Structures are given as structure tokens and as C-alpha cells.
Structure 1
Amino acid sequence: MTQQPFSRPGAFDLSGLKDQTAAPAAASSSAYAVPVTEANVQQVLESSMTAPVLLVFFSRTRMPESGQLADDLTTLATEFDGRFLAGLVDIDTAPGIAQAMQIPSVPLVVVVLEGRPMPLLQSVVPLAELRAALTQVLQQLTAQGVTGRHQPRPQAAPATDGGPVVDPRYAPAQDALAAGDLDRAVAEYQKLVDSNPADAEAAAGLAMAKVLQRTSGVDPVQARTAAAEHPADVDAQTLVADLDLLGGHVEDAFNRLIELVRRTAGEDRDRARQHLLGLFAAVGNDDPRVLRGRQNLASALF
């Protein structure tokens, strides 16, 4: 399966699916997992506009191991607390979905974000390996400004209920981001951080909202030209670092500011250091690139 754009009603050809209420599927054991049926598949895909959806295609009769992968993904959906929704597609009970989405075989895990599908796994892997892979994917998405969450689904709710929405804790900030009101988004995230400094997700959201705020309306070409012409200008260098981060060039952003720390002193050096710490928070302190960046920063400082 190749990555392809999706425009409503979907990236996949779902026109052949019947608009009917399917037989109830087995209940999932996670508030962040949902059995996918022909009746709710479109709602599940639409929910990827809020946060990632991971569709896992499996068959407990044809390949029991694929059922274990579905169970493991359900477990991790709880661990990740709404960072993604696990969509469980049993091809034995929902063969029309597999056919419409042209699934070649099971197991298959597909990441869907803003309607765009991309295959992630095509084999059964141990739980620890699956956890590591998902951690890396979500860290990369966070670095690109994807910080939305799904709302917990009531365990007794039928699969045809409305799709997941943003976790209520982050709803005001996410609503502000959706409306393009970056100042309000920063203010809402700041409230969350002030009320609970240990909330790592709120801190990451605040840091990323600030990056978006600083780069709003910036001409990337002009910004990069200014940075090239003025290598010691803290404002010019930090702005390009923000642009690098948003573009997914995380290590380039970190290295730019680490070199700036090496070249500067006093207040300028401290500003560069503080800005870099903010970018670390936006990416996530557990990200290997952040760990390397902290080591390199320490070397630059001492």
C-alpha cells in the first residue's frame, strides 16, 4: 500500500460499502480502541483529523498471531493515553473494508493522519518492539506540531457512536490552534502548565505552540538569508531553528543552536540556550535526538 492523499469521503474507495448497521463487534479492552465496522469506518477515518488513527487488519482464524498484534495495539493505545486511536479491523467480520482498502494480507498496521494513510507494519512484532516503533512515530509527529489527543471512549458505547475528539484537558488549546489563534493557544497551554508543571504533554504543547506563534507569517527564504548573513544574530538563528523544527529537521535545529551557544557569550548565549531547551521540550525529553542534543549542549557550555 502506498501513501496517498485522501479527500472526504476517504482516501480509500468506500463507495461500495453498504450504509447499514453492522452486527455488534466484540468490545475492545481500551478506551482508545474501537472495532471498525462498515457502519463506522468513515467516522473512524474522519477522527484522524484530530489525532492519529492506527488501523490494524487481522484475522484470528486465518492467522492467530495477527490477533495478538491487535491485542497488543489495544494495550498500547491505553498506555499512550489517547495519542492515537486503535482501529481494529477483523477481516473475517468486515471483509468489505479489507476489500475496499485493498489490503493484500494480514497482519497490516496503517497510520492514518488527517486522512492520509501510510503503512507502518506488515508483520507481527513483540510488544516491546511495537511500543518502541510507536514511540518514535509519535515523537516525530510531535516535532511536526501534531499534539492532538483522542477522548476516551466509554467502554459500553457501541462502535457506531461518534468519533473520538480531543481530550477535554487540551480542548481549549486545540480549539485555538484549529482557529489559528496562536496567542490563545499559548495562553491555554500556559494555564495547564501553571496548574500542573509535571504535565509533560502540556509542556510540549506549549513549547510547540510558541514555535508556531514565532514563525507565523514568516518568509522562510528571507529568514534563512538573514541567518546566513548574520551568524551571530540570536534572533535570526533561533527563528531558522524554529523553521527547521517545523519542517521535521529536528537535529538541524538543535545543531544550529548548539553552535550558536559555542559562538556567543553572556546574555546572547543564555538566550540561545533557553531557546534550545524550549525546542527540546517541544520534541520530548525521551527522544534520542533530545538526549544527544543535551549532551552536545553540555559540551558546548563546558
Structure 2
Amino acid sequence: MSQNSSMPANPAAGINLRGAVDLSALKARATAPAGAPTGGSPYAVDVNEQSFQEFVGLSQTVPVVVSLGSSRSTQSAALNGVLEKLVTDYAGRIALGRVDADTSPQIAQAFGVAALPTVVALVKGQPVPLFEGELPEEQIKSFLDELLKVAASNGVTGNLGGLPDDAEPAPLPPLHQAAYDAIEAGDLATAQAAYEKALAEMPSDTDAKVGLAQVNLMRRTAEIDTVAADAFRTRAAGDPDDLDAHLAVADLDVTGGHVEDAFARLVKYISLHFGAEREPARVRLLELYDVIGVGDPRVSTSRQALARALF
């Protein structure tokens, strides 16, 4: 295992994980009554290119393990079975995301995967390489034990289900709860309205600001199908002045996990334009910073590039 213990100890990004709609299945299983059927570990979830960024957000709270395999591979299935057993034993201190590289190749490419299965981890959004192929359960457990030490050294010591049996989770503020319920119901317009009302009542409400940024991103990308996505990418590649295309591609890149590409695209657009058209790009970039988390090092790096582009 490559222990990335020198990783910067950035503050938690403040992403509203309770509003991460793509992780609702994980939340439901993690809070299911004892003995309820879960269909696997309560701390494991299938992750694809659309939900990956949401899953990465969990690494602000607990270390997350990403198992990159193939649905056609018995080796991948066997490894996932071992990983599910182990993360269950850790009782919420580690989350597992199963990625089918056949259907989500961009995730495998982002990690530079050379062979399947490959297992990596994330702590505060930063990659921690683990291993390739199948290993004995005892050896995998030793890697996960070391991962917890790396996470603890960087201030990541949360628990997805670690409330005492007699404890009740702290209730969300009413408007936040309304937004969360709307997200789970697929009603993004109502969620947007609830977060906007929360911000109107308290402009300093960071969680509402982040939640609104997430919902806005979900709404925008939900309206872009594969054909439209390809068209936007073609337009952006051929026209550096096509603002709508560059905004759309940046959204798609963030949703697909290509955060640095999205940030660089918008910074470049801003650096090449000096009229009113640069303001929508700047505003969108700031909103995407909120989605990723202000403590993420990719945001810090991009902010420096943005400052150079503006001044």
C-alpha cells in the first residue's frame, strides 16, 4: 500500500452528504433495521460515472474504497465479496464503492488503472493506491487497517452508522429537510426552492449554499442526454467563444469526475474573454467550487489560476 500520509490535512469541504441523491441507497441500507435484507454490505454501493463525484464527497467523512472491476469477471466478484465482508466488519468507518469499468470506463481511466480488478482509496478526495488483483482476506484487512491510520492522520475519523443505539440523529433544519426529501423524491425544483428560501432567511447558511449548488448541477446535467452531450463537446472543441457549450461541458466533466478538466476549461474561457461574457463563466466556476468543496486542493489550485486570469 502506498500510504499518502503527507497528504495535506484540508478542512472538511462541508458537502451536504444527506442531500447526495445518488447515495440514497447507501443511506437506506446503512440505517435499515437489524435483520432487514440489505442485498450486501450496508456500507457498500454501486457507483457509476454519474454518481461518482457524490461518492467521493463521502471521503471527507470516512475513507472510501473504490473497487474497479468487471461484471464479466469472477475474480472481481470474489474480491468484492471479500471487501463487502470487511467493510461491514468496520461498522461504518469505511465505505466501499463498486465500479464496473465496462460501463464506467472514465472512472478507471481517471485512476490510471492498468489491470482489473484494482482497488484504490480516497481520503478527503485524494487517492491512496491499495492493490491490484485478488489477495488473501488477511492481507486486504491489513491494507484497510493502514488506510484507517492514514485517514486518522488527516482528520478523517467519521462513521456512517456509528450512532449509539439509543441516540437519535440530529434533525435537519426544516427547509433542509424539505430539500432532502424533495431530492429523494426526484423533485429537484422543489429542492432548489427550499435551499433558496433557506439562503434568503440566512445568507451565511453554508450547507444550504452547497446543497443549492449540488441541486443546480443535477438539474442542469439531467437535461443533457448523450446526444446533446456529444454535441456540446463538439461545439466547445470547435469554438472557444461558445459560452453555453463550455458551461455544459464543464458541468458534464464535474459530474463524470473530471474536476480539474472542468475547472481548467472555465479558467481558460475567462482568460480569453474580457467582456460581459466572462461573468457567467466566473459565476459557474464558483458554484462548481461549492459542489466540490472549498477545502479540496483542486479548488485551491483553480482559485489561484482564476485570480491570474482575472487580474
Band the TM-score falls in, shorter-chain normalisation: 0.5 to 0.7
Hey, what's the Cα distance between the residues in 2 that align with 1:114 and 1:126?
Answer: 19
Tell me, which stretches of 5 or more residues in structure 1 are unaligned? 1-9, 12-33, 50-76, 86-97, 139-148
Hey, what's the Cα distance between the residues in 1 that align with 2:177 and 2:268?
Answer: 37
Structure 2 residue aligned with 1:246? 255
Shift of 1:129: 3.9
1:201 matched to 2:201? The reply is no
Secondary structure (helix, strand or coil) at the match of 1:286 reads: coil
Structure 1 residue aligned with 2:145? 123
Structure 2 residue aligned with 1:280? 289
Hey, what's the Cα distance between the residues in 2 that align with 1:100 and 1:276?
Answer: 37
1:227–1:115 Cα change, 3 Å: closer
Aligned residues: 210
1:298–1:192 Cα change, 3 Å: same
Structure 2 residue aligned with 1:28? none
Hey, what's the Cα distance between the residues in 1 that align with 2:195 and 2:249?
Answer: 23
1:279–1:238 Cα change, 3 Å: same
Hey, what's the Cα distance between the residues in 2 that align with 1:100 and 1:231?
Answer: 45
Secondary structure (helix, strand or coil) at the match of 2:95 reads: strand
Structure 1 residue aligned with 2:303? 294
Q: Answer 1 or 2: higher relative contact order, Cα 8 Å, separation at least 6.
A: 2
Shift of 1:284: 1.1
1:209-247: CA deviations, max 9, x gaps? Answer: 111112222121112112122221111111110111111
AA matched with 2:270: V
Structure 1 residue aligned with 2:239? 230
Hey, what's the Cα distance between the residues in 1 that align with 2:97 and 2:145?
Answer: 21
Question: Normalization by structure 2: what TM-score?
Answer: 0.53
Hey, what's the Cα distance between the residues in 2 that align with 1:132 and 1:110?
Answer: 15
Q: Is the 8 A contact 1:151 1:167 kept in 2?
A: no
Q: Is the 8 A contact 2:41 2:84 kept in 1?
A: no
Q: Is the 8 A contact 1:110 1:119 kept in 2?
A: no
Rg larger for: 1
What does 1:17-166 correspond to in 2, within 5 Å? 39=35, 42=38, 45=41, 102-103=85-86, 110-112=94-96, 120=121, 122-124=144-146, 129-130=151-152, 132=154, 134=156, 156=166
1:260 matched to 2:282? The reply is no
Structure 2 residue aligned with 1:30? none
1:165–1:42 Cα change, 3 Å: farther
1:50-76: CA deviations, max 9, x gaps? Answer: xxxxxxxxxxxxxxxxxxxxxxxxxxx
1:43–1:103 Cα change, 3 Å: closer
Tell me, which stretches of 5 or more residues in structure 2 are unaligned? 1-24, 46-57, 64-80, 101-118, 122-142
AA matched with 2:255: L
AA matched with 2:300: L
Shift of 1:42: 4.1
Structure 2 residue aligned with 1:184? 190
Candidates 211, 220, 233, aligned match of 2:217: 211
Report the identity percentage: 32
AA matched with 1:183: A
1:168–1:151 Cα change, 3 Å: farther
RMSD of the alignment, in Å?
A: 4.7
Shift of 1:282: 1.2
Q: Greater shift after overlay, 243-252 or 107-116?
A: 107-116
1:201–1:48 Cα change, 3 Å: farther
Q: Is the 8 A contact 1:45 1:115 kept in 2?
A: no
Q: Is the 8 A contact 2:84 2:96 kept in 1?
A: no
Q: Is the 8 A contact 1:107 1:123 kept in 2?
A: no
Question: Normalization by structure 1: what TM-score?
Answer: 0.54
Shift of 1:39: 4.0
Hey, what's the Cα distance between the residues in 2 that align with 1:195 and 1:229?
Answer: 43
AA matched with 1:281: D
1:166–1:297 Cα change, 3 Å: same
AA matched with 1:179: A
